[in-house]
Amino acid sequence: MTTDETLNGLRYEKEKLEKKIKKLKNENDGLYYDIRMLNVKYDELNFEYEDLEFRNIDLDYEYSVLEKKCETVYRIANEYLMNQASLEEVLDGIMLLNSDN
C-alpha cells in the first residue's frame, strides 16, 4: 500500500468518525432536550399533585363538618319524633346549623 492510499484511507476513516461524532452529538442534544421537557412535565405534575393534596385536605374538612351537621339533624329529628323536643327547639337547631355556613 502506498502512502497516498494510506492517507486516503485515513481521510476516509476520519470523515466516517466525524460523521459519527456529529450524529452522536445530535442524538445527545435531542436527549438533553427530552430530559428538559420531562423535567418541565415533572414539575407540572408535582404542582398538580400538591394542589390535589390541598384540595383533599379541604374536602376532608368539609366532609367532617357535614357529617357533624347530619348527626345533629338526625339527633334533633329523633328527639322531635320521640316527643322530647318541641317544634321550636327543632327550628332553633336548624337555624343554628344554617348560621354555621
pLDDT(99) > 70:
yes
Question: Could you give the number of structural domains in the chain?
Answer: 1
The C-alpha cell at 63 is: 366532609
pLDDT for res 1: 66
Q: Are 82 and 61 in contact (CB under 8 A)?
A: no
**Taking residues 29-53, what's their average pLDDT?**
97
pLDDT for res 7: 85
pTM of the complete model: 0.55
Question: Which residue segment(s) compose the domain that 76 sits in?
Answer: 3-99
The C-alpha cell at 14 is: 476520519
Q: Which residue has the cell 332553633?
A: 92
| Tens-digit pLDDT profile for residues 14-31 | 999 999 999 999 999 999
